[in-house]
Structure 1
Amino acid sequence: MTPEEAEQARRKYLFRRFWISGRGYWGRNGDKLAWPFTIGLLVLICVNVGFQYGINVWNRAFFDAIEQRNVHTVYMLSAVFVPLVAGSASLVVAQVYLRMTIQRRWRSWLTTSVIARWLASGRYYQLNLVAGDHSNPEARLTEDLRIATESPVDFISGVLNAFLAASTFIVVLWTIGGALTLPLGRESITIPGFLVVTAVIYAAITSTSMVVIGRHFVQLSERKNQAEAEFRYTLTRVRENGESIALLGGEAEERSGIDRNFGHVLRQWALLTGQHMRTAIVSQGSMLFAPVVPVLLCAPKFLEGSMSLGQVMQAASAFAIVQGAFGWLVDNYPRLADWNASARRVASLMMSLDGLERAEESESFGRIRRGETQNGAMLSLDDLSVTLNDGTGVVKETKVEINPGERVLVAGESGTGKSTLVRAVAGLWPWGGGSVNFHAGKRLFMLPQRPYIPTGTLRRAVAYPAAADNWTVDEIDAALDKVGLGYLRDRIEEEAPWDQTLSGGEKQRLAFARLLLHEPDIVVLDEATSALDEKSQDKMMQTVV
């Protein structure tokens, strides 16, 4: 298989993988209202096509009345037109409601499902450790997933409407237009249903032109979306690490990186602009020619008296509807390409999550087991080996047993696997062998070198990962005071960007305040006092001991 064939096969599988998960919305474990809303939307589309046919018939009767100068009929049909339009408009409004409700609920269901898998068993962290096409998962879970769930509903309703409209108004064209006889020297040629034949040929030309011209749309859309995601990630990194960048004076280098990523976005956008320009030629030309072609074709019959003005106008209206139905691909090809790219990006993330799930369930794949200790030990490592996901060893056959009240220091040079060992104990690093065992019913609490500070109030930041109201303000105040953050007591209920406001040392002190509130049975510290001076480090350790 050539690289091109392999890439094509991968893209097809990604398309199928998205639908394997996406169609679950209509399945047994999906939304109970999915099918009622879907059936309701399909019924409304059918009824609306009936109203379109009614307006088409009205066109014929109205212009026939004008041609005959029948004042009474003109006024009567004018009165009939209002309820026809009102009914059609009401149906369109109802369609919009059902269509957007299906899109919203489908997106909610699928987003909840994917995020649940992403957050389970530390997979959101493990994705950073394994190879695969899953970069910028936040963009895939937001913008890409939104497009992936919105567009199919639009496409399916659009295709159904186009099919019904084409089927209905082809009959109208065939009935009104009849056959067209063209003189060919001494002979003549008769074309039955000439308006239908013309509509089909016209649509075939425009659709084929669109497919040929826009054949690179999907690939370019996918590249543009990836470039946009990388640009957003770069800006987010600058915001999150603003203090470090400012202290180091790294603005020029950051600007260089931002300009480089933004330039990549602009280049991909320029390529996509060229595709849009070429497809615009086809769509704009089709839009301008479509109303004129049926009138020109019907003109000879009208001039010879075999067609009335009403029939000409009805044919023109029907031709425009049929052409619009046949030309659905012309109008929606760019959106279809954008959806295809977004669905594949979401499917790529799903595939990476599938791989992690298979590794968790596989017996042959080396994974660290988790169990309960024996003989009252709080924590034990039994022949624990920690490896990278490619099998490279980091920690080999460690055997440790820690009893209640014991404190163990793990020392070593940088890069020897201390943090990796901590991740394995926490369950974030699954690759390796042996087991990590805890005393039954005892709680583990981790203090990393860089504590996570959530958005919201300071009270929420101190209580994390528990709810902010699990402790009173006085209890949180007391915990802050014990770790040397008593000067923040008046700001406990204040919402602020605490992750940017607090210094590295203040964040580590706040982590110790969390420890005091949660009162765990087992505590694992991974250089949790590295941002504090020696005196403060001793004080923190005395506080928790």
Structure 2
Amino acid sequence: MTWVGRPRRTVPEQTSSEAKTSSLTPVSSMRTFWGLMRAYWFSDRWKEAWTLTLVIALLTALSSKAGVWFAVALGELGNSIAFLHDAANTHPLQTILTNAGILVLLVVLKDAGFTGVRTLVSATLHRKWRGWLNSQFNQALLDGNHTHFHAQHGSAAGGIVAPDNIDQRIQESIKDMTGGAIGLAMGVLGVATSLYFIGENLIGSSVEVKGLEFLGGYGTAVLAFLAVAIYVPLNTWIAVKLGRLLERLNVRMQQAEGSYRSELITFLRRSFHVAASHGEGVQKSMHDRLYVDIDKTWGRLNVVNTSYASFELIYNFVGARIVAFAPGLLSFIHNRLDYKGYITGSEMVAQLIGQCSWFIHVMPAIATLRANSQRVTELANAIENVQHPREFYQQTGRSDFSYATQNPVFGLTIQKLELAHQGEDATPFVSAANLRFRRGEWTFLKGESGSGKTSLIKAINGLWPYGRGTIVFPEGVTNFYAAQEVKLQQVSLKQLVCLPGSENDHSDTQVASALHKAGLGDFIEHLADESREGKIWDQVLSGGQKQKLVVARIILQQPGLLFLDEATGALDPEGKIAFHQAIKDNCPNVTVISVMHEVVPPRSLSGEEFYHSVVAIADSVATKKPLAPSLPRELTTILAQPPRPTEDKWLRFRRMKQK
């Protein structure tokens, strides 16, 4: 990772109440279910959202009205078939064909016209809403606060759990949630319009029912509404019970699949190391163990889904073939309702049951919607919680870092710094009473492995969570953090060199010059390319070339503070010298703080020291002093070489001197 900082400014401390009221992010309004659902319609894209919504509402109303026409046409067709041989029917075949043709036209109008166009418009709304949410979460995560970094540092012990599988939440959860929400909203609207149009028709065609004369001419309509009111809610209660189980299993399935996918992604990134260590067996057992969780959850989910599908099939049959035909049966038997009226009324009741059963039909979608929305709102809450990192980390440990600026003449100052791990009473593993780094000074940071060298650099850059201390930056100076592992985004070579700024910030000539000075002149002609020979730059460039690319960035950006965290680990001794020499020649006033594995820092080919001072970490204390007098060049070269199994370095040096 290579991180380039911005000029730091002194920011006044905020109280907890002020922080809560002032921290507004692009997802601040999406921390609850309903806040998430309505955010798009009250955003700067409200015209787009409401226009598509109103078109969908209009098409839904027309589709419901067409359902009434369909029921009437079906009654006409059934009646013409029933009275096919009636003597009064002078044109029986023509009547049947006419009614059948009208029925087919209505089906085409309803399904291909109103419903089909509504599907296209709703898919457009789905695409627009999802794209807007995706941009909002990306903007919130990739801000100057490094929210993406802090959000992953929650602690279960402190009651703040970091969101797992953030990529899955942004992509899959948002996609499924927006699609499910639009479908459910159309279902609710369909119920409302169907109740209006079908209810109006049922009341208008209602007749008296024997034994229920007190209802007058509203007898069959009352029975129809009563049948729907009893049948649908009873079965909805059953659907809710099954839906809650589906919701829990869907959440568990997402978590299991996300963990498995994350491990696969991690494995592909370290594929070489697995192959070199012959670790395929261990990796396979890990994959098998993670997939067991998917398989078990999937098995339970299949059982519940199958049970729900069976329940829905039985519900649909009973509703459409028994319940729908019951309300008008008595009136038809007692000849108060003709066959046409009976068929038409029964078909309308069946349509009303179907529309009012949207909750049952989409319960699996509701379960998925609730599961997805929960994961999205959890991410929104995690983003909001870390807008003030100091207060966030203070909930699980001691975090009292303060950052300020001073006149650039005084350089970088560190005072009373203590680094610790999580927990209020954690013992500091690194402490520094007072460290000062002058402008243009190069400092070599050394200490045993695990002593806290990298942690110290992270803390200076505001990327270490626990501890205390004051870091005072030179005002108006940018800083550049280069680590050993360099990951390159899938963008053009010019953009990779210009990061973190835009490729428009520098001319091609400037970028080409930086690449040439860094030792990558062979790639100048490919500045506009995002790939080479079918491979992205992260795959094209070797580890050493990637670190030379970092040098090109440094030369181009001209930072005032440069932090090298084992940034030359992939280079040979000559490459390390060239790395430092390029920075020395092209960034004369830069302040460098560097961590390396070497016992002594590299020197130039002429024998001059690159570094002026050394910060040593011993017994958890960091102290700074001038670099020791230069050793003979021959000794420095020998010490930097790996020893032979049976030969001492000092003995080799003595033999060289004798020669």
- Name the TM tier (shorter chain): 0.7 to 0.9
Change in Cα spacing, 1:242 to 1:459, as seen in structure 2 (3 Å) is farther
Partner AA of 1:307 in structure 2? L
Structure number having the greater helix percentage: 1
In the alignment, which of 477, 483, 507 is matched to residue 546 of structure 2? 507
Task: Tell me whether 493-502 or 408-417 shows the greater mean CA deviation.
Answer: 493-502
Residue 52 of structure 1 pairs with residue 67 of structure 2:
yes
Question: How much has 1:417 moved relative to structure 2?
Answer: 2.4
Q: For 1:26 and 1:195, how far apart are their aligned partners in 2?
A: 38
Residue number in structure 2 paired with 1:118? 141
Residue number in structure 2 paired with 1:98? 121
Query: Which residues of 2 match residues 307-346 of structure 1 at below 5 A?
Result: 307-346=337-376
Question: How much has 1:146 moved relative to structure 2?
Answer: 1.4
- Contact 1:177 1:195 survives alignment (8 Å): no
Question: How much has 1:441 moved relative to structure 2?
Answer: 2.6
Residue number in structure 2 paired with 1:540? 579
Residue 221 of structure 1 pairs with residue 244 of structure 2:
no
- 1:410 alignment partner, SS class: strand
Partner AA of 2:73 in structure 1? W
Question: How much has 1:166 moved relative to structure 2?
Answer: 3.3
Change in Cα spacing, 1:117 to 1:362, as seen in structure 2 (3 Å) is same
Residue number in structure 1 paired with 2:459? 424
Task: Tell me whether 148-157 or 424-433 shows the greater mean CA deviation.
Answer: 424-433
- 2:345 alignment partner, SS class: helix
- Contact 2:31 2:381 survives alignment (8 Å): no
Question: How much has 1:400 moved relative to structure 2?
Answer: 2.5
- Contact 1:230 1:261 survives alignment (8 Å): yes
Question: How much has 1:83 moved relative to structure 2?
Answer: 5.9
Residue number in structure 1 paired with 2:405? 372
Question: How much has 1:313 moved relative to structure 2?
Answer: 2.3
Task: Tell me whether 139-148 or 108-117 shows the greater mean CA deviation.
Answer: 108-117
Q: For 1:542 and 1:57, how far apart are their aligned partners in 2?
A: 88
Task: Tell me whether 307-316 or 379-388 shows the greater mean CA deviation.
Answer: 379-388
Residue number in structure 1 paired with 2:152? 128
Give the fraction of aligned pairs with identical amino acids, expressed as a percent: 23
In the alignment, which of 160, 167, 179 is matched to residue 189 of structure 2? 160
In the alignment, which of 20, 24, 46 is matched to residue 35 of structure 2? 20
In the alignment, which of 234, 248, 256 is matched to residue 263 of structure 2? 234
Residue by residue over 1:52-102, the C-alpha shift from the partner in whole angstroms, topping out at 9 and shown as x without a partner, is 223323333444444453647656656655664454343223422332233
- Contact 1:301 1:307 survives alignment (8 Å): yes
Change in Cα spacing, 1:238 to 1:438, as seen in structure 2 (3 Å) is same
Change in Cα spacing, 1:362 to 1:530, as seen in structure 2 (3 Å) is closer
Change in Cα spacing, 1:215 to 1:179, as seen in structure 2 (3 Å) is farther
Please, what TM-score do these two structures have when normalized by structure 2? 0.72
Residue number in structure 2 paired with 1:144? 173
Residue number in structure 1 paired with 2:24? none
Q: For 1:28 and 1:486, how far apart are their aligned partners in 2?
A: 47
Question: How much has 1:235 moved relative to structure 2?
Answer: 1.3
Residue 442 of structure 1 pairs with residue 477 of structure 2:
yes
Residue by residue over 1:22-54, the C-alpha shift from the partner in whole angstroms, topping out at 9 and shown as x without a partner, is 422222555332233323322332233222223
Question: How much has 1:282 moved relative to structure 2?
Answer: 0.8
Change in Cα spacing, 1:479 to 1:363, as seen in structure 2 (3 Å) is closer
In the alignment, which of 405, 416, 424 is matched to residue 440 of structure 2? 405
Residue number in structure 2 paired with 1:211? 240
- Contact 2:418 2:468 survives alignment (8 Å): yes
- Contact 1:178 1:194 survives alignment (8 Å): no
Query: Which residues of 2 match residues 240-389 of structure 1 at below 5 A?
Result: 240-293=269-322, 294-295=324-325, 298=328, 301-302=331-332, 305-359=335-389, 366-374=399-407, 376-388=409-421
Q: For 1:526 and 1:367, how far apart are their aligned partners in 2?
A: 24
Partner AA of 1:164 in structure 2? T
- Contact 1:385 1:433 survives alignment (8 Å): yes
Partner AA of 1:418 in structure 2? K
Residue by residue over 1:499-521, the C-alpha shift from the partner in whole angstroms, topping out at 9 and shown as x without a partner, is 34433333222222222222222
- 1:357 alignment partner, SS class: coil
Question: How much has 1:526 moved relative to structure 2?
Answer: 0.8
**Which has the higher Rg, Structure 1 or Structure 2?**
2
- Contact 2:253 2:297 survives alignment (8 Å): yes
User: What's the C-alpha RMSD, in Å, of the aligned pairs?
Assistant: 3.2
Q: For 1:40 and 1:367, how far apart are their aligned partners in 2?
A: 54
In the alignment, which of 229, 233, 241 is matched to residue 200 of structure 1? 229
- Contact 2:30 2:380 survives alignment (8 Å): no
Residue by residue over 1:472-519, the C-alpha shift from the partner in whole angstroms, topping out at 9 and shown as x without a partner, is 666555544444444555665344233344333332222222222222
Q: For 2:62 and 2:400, how far apart are their aligned partners in 1?
A: 58
Residue by residue over 1:129-150, the C-alpha shift from the partner in whole angstroms, topping out at 9 and shown as x without a partner, is 3221401111111101112222
Q: For 1:271 and 1:412, how far apart are their aligned partners in 2?
A: 53
Change in Cα spacing, 1:15 to 1:375, as seen in structure 2 (3 Å) is closer
Q: How many residues align?
A: 526
- Contact 2:408 2:439 survives alignment (8 Å): no
Partner AA of 1:420 in structure 2? S
Q: For 1:148 and 1:363, how far apart are their aligned partners in 2?
A: 31
Q: For 2:260 and 2:249, how far apart are their aligned partners in 1?
A: 16
Question: How much has 1:309 moved relative to structure 2?
Answer: 2.7
Change in Cα spacing, 1:322 to 1:26, as seen in structure 2 (3 Å) is same
- Contact 2:419 2:468 survives alignment (8 Å): yes
Q: For 1:37 and 1:63, how far apart are their aligned partners in 2?
A: 38
Change in Cα spacing, 1:29 to 1:413, as seen in structure 2 (3 Å) is farther
Point out where structure 2 has 5 or more consecutive residues left out of the alignment: 1-28, 84-88, 156-160, 213-218, 585-659
Please, what TM-score do these two structures have when normalized by structure 1? 0.86
Q: For 1:370 and 1:439, how far apart are their aligned partners in 2?
A: 11
- Contact 2:406 2:474 survives alignment (8 Å): yes
Task: Tell me whether 173-182 or 494-503 shows the greater mean CA deviation.
Answer: 173-182
Change in Cα spacing, 1:350 to 1:386, as seen in structure 2 (3 Å) is farther
- Contact 1:179 1:192 survives alignment (8 Å): no
Residue number in structure 1 paired with 2:56? 41
Query: Which residues of 2 match residues 417-496 of structure 1 at below 5 A?
Result: 417-429=452-464, 431-468=466-503, 476-486=511-521, 488=523, 493=529, 494-495=531-532, 496=535
- 2:440 alignment partner, SS class: coil
Partner AA of 1:33 in structure 2? E
Task: Tell me whether 424-433 or 339-348 shows the greater mean CA deviation.
Answer: 424-433
Change in Cα spacing, 1:122 to 1:171, as seen in structure 2 (3 Å) is same
Question: How much has 1:223 moved relative to structure 2?
Answer: 0.1
